[in-house]
Structure 1
Amino acid sequence: MSLHKTSGRWRLGLALSLLTVLLWGILPIALAIALQVLDVYTVIWFRFLISFLLLGVYLGIRGKLPKLEQLRSASWKLLAIATLFLGINYLLFMQGLALTSPANAEVLIQLSTLLLGFGGLVIFKERYRLYQWIGVSVMTCGYLLFFWEQLTNLITAHGTYILGSSLIALGATSWAIYALAQKQLLQSLSSPSIMLIIYGGCALLFTPLAKIQSLFILDSFHLLMLVFCAFNTLIAYGAFAESLEHWEASRVSAVIALAPIVTLITVAVVSVIAPNWIPSENFTFIAILGAGLVVTGSVAIALGKAN
């Protein structure tokens, strides 16, 4: 089986990856607010449905809806795998988020980027140079420092906190499987076409579980948060899918690893502006040092040229 090759437009891949980082970094906060009044299934269903409808309209206007011959040439087995595992990722991540916190959820979900990078190296035969492996080590040390308090909580906590953390870790694994399937599908379909099919399939999967009537009694603030989550899904996953067209999966994963820093910074800002929304996070010198190491290691991996 032939494997997908990138376009080589690494600057575009980097820009799209950074956009994904920004949107995924602030997403857990908006989701935590939406979960204050809605159940997990309804939030997931709404995000997928709105993303499917908006993307379908956009592709229809531009005359870029997937054609029948393109669909015939695509691997429906891979499409089914990508759809199923992205749906599982959404479910497990949001269940875990409801049981823990935005910061903790964003820490643990980074397992997905490490697994994606590993999959890129093993499956797609991507390669790291020595200093890129050093970057991996630096980034790992940075995470251990930056999230020391959260990691300590994982060891000492009991009950729902550990359960939520375990669900997020499983969700990270399912996301890596989705992302690798998505990259291989780019051989036969464009990234918007792939996402359209996946959004529609996931919306159907969660329709029987959604409590649609609960959407009609939302106040304006929580409705705004829910709509933001839907648009975030559409734009972030579109940018991520397109970044895999132009850049290696291992390097996209390295840039996406910066998302927790965006989350922690956003939590700090929001907790000052609106303390009733999100509890505040306390940053120590060790955490700041760890953040610097994460950025340094990620940049070394992402910008280094492969052999």
Structure 2
Amino acid sequence: MACTTALLWGILPILLKFGLKEFSIETVAWSRFAFAFIVLGVWLHMRGKVEVERKLPWLGVLGGAFLATNYYFMTAGIHLSGPSNAAVLIQLAPLLLVLVGVFAFGEGLTKRQLLGIAIAALGFLLFYKDNLQSSSDANNYSWAGINVVLAAVAWVAFMICQKILIPHHAPQVLNFIAYGVAGLVLLPFVEWAGFSQLSLGGFALLILLGLNTVFAYGALAEAVQRIPLTLISVITALNPLITLMGMKLLSTYFPGNLEPGEPSAMGYWGAFLAVTGVVTVVTQKATRKES
């Protein structure tokens, strides 16, 4: 389950960048939710699990709003910069998740975790500086970074809602609720004109993005049920490596399809340090503070 999510999230920024060549940010994000909501609804109906409580859990509704926020800002970050940049900077999310455990649930940080945070901070700094220097529009790149940070905060909030609800609700039903709520949140902002000239390639791309959403979050929901929340964060640490590799292969064998946005050696080192730091933090079991 975890490997499936890691792979799908790794290629997702690349697919989104292609999608943004034909559709607006809001349209791409909404289309993913609409597709996932319909497909998951059919699947739940076939399994006889489509019945959702008449009174929706308020945390489920809130989680859907957070997921819509995450999708919007992540897609905006990719639009303003590129797949590799967003995939690396979103690694702030696992670190924020650990810090939530410290400040909200009384967990303490070990020395190894503090070291991991320092390594990750250095990595983010090197990666950000490298991309800022090579960017043709520094202001645009800075806004991209802000969007991805907001996406990370929203993702952490969504995961907390899911973790609280999982013991009392089926994970796929929670996803069904989240997709429906998120789709409603984004519905007023959809640019319908984009569908009037939909090409076969654009249609196929929307299907791929929808399937990515269904399978990635479906696998994640099952993982949440089985392993601790902080360990789930290890999944996201693999994403930028897959994205960077995918962009490298794309620029090598299919040049001209996307702006490569390839980092220099310092950028690659920054990405490596960021991932290493995040993995160090989330794989070390936190201690409990003394009361």
Fold-level similarity (TM above 0.5): yes
- Deviations along 1:14-47, one digit per CA (max 9) or x if unpaired, are xx33322221111111111111111122211211
- The question of whether the paired residues in 2 share the 8 Å contact of 1:86 and 1:178 is answered with yes
- The question of whether the paired residues in 1 share the 8 Å contact of 2:73 and 2:150 is answered with yes
Q: 1:241 aligns with which of 221, 224, 240?
A: 221
- The question of whether the paired residues in 1 share the 8 Å contact of 2:91 and 2:275 is answered with no
What is the letter of the counterpart of residue 41 of structure 1? E
- 1:255 correspondence with 2:235: yes
- Deviations along 1:212-270, one digit per CA (max 9) or x if unpaired, are 35224222222222211111111111222222222222222233122112111111111
- 1:53 correspondence with 2:53: no
What is the letter of the counterpart of residue 274 of structure 1? F
Paired position in structure 2 for 1:64:
49
Q: 1:41 aligns with which of 9, 19, 26?
A: 26
Q: 1:111 aligns with which of 75, 87, 92?
A: 92
- 1:201 correspondence with 2:181: yes
Query: Matched residues in 1 for 2:31 and 2:16: separation?
Result: 12
1:172 deviates by: 1.8
Query: Matched residues in 1 for 2:279 and 2:95: separation?
Result: 15
Query: Matched residues in 2 for 1:292 and 1:209: separation?
Result: 37
- 1:30 correspondence with 2:15: yes
- The question of whether the paired residues in 2 share the 8 Å contact of 1:142 and 1:289 is answered with yes
- The question of whether the paired residues in 2 share the 8 Å contact of 1:113 and 1:256 is answered with yes
What is the letter of the counterpart of residue 82 of structure 2? S
Superposed, 1:136-285 pairs within 5 Å as: 136-145=117-126, 148-150=129-131, 152=133, 157-158=138-139, 160-282=140-262, 284-285=264-265
- The question of whether the paired residues in 2 share the 8 Å contact of 1:117 and 1:253 is answered with no
Query: Matched residues in 2 for 1:66 and 1:118: separation?
Result: 36
- Deviations along 1:200-220, one digit per CA (max 9) or x if unpaired, are 111222223223352242222
Query: Matched residues in 2 for 1:56 and 1:93: separation?
Result: 25
Query: Matched residues in 2 for 1:210 and 1:186: separation?
Result: 31
**Tell me, what secondary structure is at the counterpart of 1:85?**
helix
Query: Matched residues in 1 for 2:236 and 2:168: separation?
Result: 25
What is the letter of the counterpart of residue 84 of structure 2? A
1:186 deviates by: 0.9
Query: Matched residues in 2 for 1:46 and 1:246: separation?
Result: 30
- Deviations along 1:134-173, one digit per CA (max 9) or x if unpaired, are 444444444445555125568x912x33223222222221
Superposed, 1:84-123 pairs within 5 Å as: 84-123=65-104
Query: Matched residues in 2 for 1:157 and 1:113: separation?
Result: 26
1:57 deviates by: 1.0
User: CA separation of 1:287/1:214 partners in 2, compared to 1, >3 Å: closer, same or farther?
Assistant: closer
> Greater shift after overlay, 82-91 or 50-59?
82-91
Q: 2:58 aligns with which of 64, 77, 90?
A: 77
Cα RMSD after superposing both structures: 2.7
User: CA separation of 1:302/1:266 partners in 2, compared to 1, >3 Å: closer, same or farther?
Assistant: same
**Tell me, what secondary structure is at the counterpart of 1:112?**
helix
- The question of whether the paired residues in 1 share the 8 Å contact of 2:67 and 2:155 is answered with yes
The answer for unaligned runs of 5 or more in structure 2 is none
What is the letter of the counterpart of residue 247 of structure 1? I
Query: Matched residues in 2 for 1:17 and 1:148: separation?
Result: 31
What is the letter of the counterpart of residue 276 of structure 1? G
Normalised by the length of structure 1, the TM-score is 0.81
User: CA separation of 1:287/1:207 partners in 2, compared to 1, >3 Å: closer, same or farther?
Assistant: closer
Post-superposition, which runs of at least 4 consecutive aligned residues in structure 1 deviate over 3 A? 120-148, 151-154, 281-307
Normalised by the length of structure 2, the TM-score is 0.85
Query: Matched residues in 2 for 1:143 and 1:163: separation?
Result: 16
What is the letter of the counterpart of residue 254 of structure 1? V
- The question of whether the paired residues in 1 share the 8 Å contact of 2:44 and 2:50 is answered with yes
- The question of whether the paired residues in 2 share the 8 Å contact of 1:120 and 1:180 is answered with no
